[in-house]
Structure 1
Amino acid sequence: MIASVEGTVLDVGLDRVVVQLGGVGVLVHTTPGTAAAQRLGSQTMLATSLVVREDSLTLYGFASADERSVFEIVQTVSGVGPRLALAMLAVLSPGEVAAAVSGGDIAVLTRVPGIGKKGAERLVLELRDKLLGLADSPGQSPTNIETPAAQGPWRDQVRDALVGLGWNAKQAETGIEAVLSRGEVVSGVGGPDVPTLLKAALRELGR
């Protein structure tokens, strides 16, 4: 198993980064929050989990070992795959997942797109004693800068990413508007910082 990667950040997407290991660029799938914390040309170290399928080898990266633990443990529940496990960590911190599961808080778990009441009940039933002791990973505080222009290619990118995570287009637009109205993103040439806006919108939709 590849437990971690450390190297130079070659590329950053909404939910993935490319890390240079020696002379090889390794694609690592992440949560939007983890991707937003990366900077081109900087050094990074990510805890990782390799998911092996018959036709693919996919590497997932996390800001902490706790995130990786949650990602791996929740997949032991029937019906929970890597995509849904990653969506959980996009909406909830490891500590929030652990607290919701141990406390049987169905309402919190169903905030994750793709998890309904029955799925949440199954998570609680099967994982109640398996996530104890997980702490919250430190989060990044949003930077309050001037509100960016309301339209641009960045808006489509963020909306498409939110829809890909399970929200519908109307919910995605609502989340984006709420974040923009509070000025929680960095506005630069061509619009706001997309990964940061996506992370803020995820936080808004997960309320």
Structure 2
Amino acid sequence: MISSLRGTVLSAVGTTVVVEVGGVGFSVAVTPALALGTRVGDELRLHTTLIVREDAMSLFGFATQEELDVFELLIAVTGVGPKSALGVLSVLSPSDVARAVSTDDDAAFRKVSGIGPKTAKLITLSLAGKIIVTEPTAQHPAAVATSVTDSVLAALVGLGWSERVAAQAVDETVVVASDAELSSVPVLLRLALAHLGPAQKTGRS
């Protein structure tokens, strides 16, 4: 079992990053936010799990252990495969998943491509009592590592938002982010994108 990887990023495209460890390049399936927040040449550490099927072996990687734990709970649900579970974590943070399960909000999972009403309901029923909600704690932007916020800002600008709009979104996002969320570029980027929302697209340059 490959439980973690730490190495140099060789490529990051779509939902796949290639990490070189000891001269070997590992192709890892990740969330779009993680891939967007990763740059070639960066050192990257991922929490991973190897999924073995009859026709393939696939490696899935996450920025935090919490994301990996939720991923493994999701794939244990009937009808939820690794790609669908990754899709859930591309749309919802572990805290979002826990909150949806605790409130029996299956609508949150129906937003994910490939997950229908029956599977969404099954997720809330199957994971009930298995995930604890982690409430975010307020923190001033100054307490966040500059490298993290700079990377998120650069990713947003690269996606088409103006620097002014992107900077405002980052500042407002870090104020309500938890300590774990503040330490991860992919997680903070996902939160910033959610904060911007479709209505903010007019602020693009």
Unaligned runs of 5+ in 2: 137-143, 168-185, 199-205
Q: Which residue does the alignment assign to 2:60?
A: 60
User: Is the Cα contact below 8 Å between 1:106 and 1:117 reproduced in 2?
Assistant: yes
User: Is the Cα contact below 8 Å between 1:9 and 1:17 reproduced in 2?
Assistant: yes
Q: 1:145 to 1:124 in 2, by over 3 A?
A: closer
Q: 1 CA distance for matches of 2:190 and 2:3?
A: 25
SS state of the match for residue 6, structure 1?
strand
SS state of the match for residue 10, structure 1?
strand
Deviation at 1:116, TM superposition (A): 2.2
Letter in 2 for 1:28: V
Q: Which residue does the alignment assign to 2:11?
A: 11
Q: Deviations over 1:82-119 (max 9, x none)?
A: 01000000000011011101210122221112222221
Aligned length: 162
Deviation at 1:78, TM superposition (A): 0.7
User: Is the Cα contact below 8 Å between 1:90 and 1:202 reproduced in 2?
Assistant: no
SS state of the match for residue 112, structure 1?
coil
Q: 1:82 to 1:145 in 2, by over 3 A?
A: closer
SS state of the match for residue 38, structure 1?
coil
Letter in 1 for 2:51: V
SS state of the match for residue 11, structure 1?
strand
Q: 1 CA distance for matches of 2:130 and 2:165?
A: 39
Q: 1:25 to 1:120 in 2, by over 3 A?
A: same
Alignment of 1:53-202 (within 5 A): 53-132=53-132, 142=153, 145=157, 148=160, 184=166
Q: In angstroms, what is the RMSD of aligned CA positions?
A: 3.2
Q: 2 CA distance for matches of 1:51 and 1:17?
A: 16
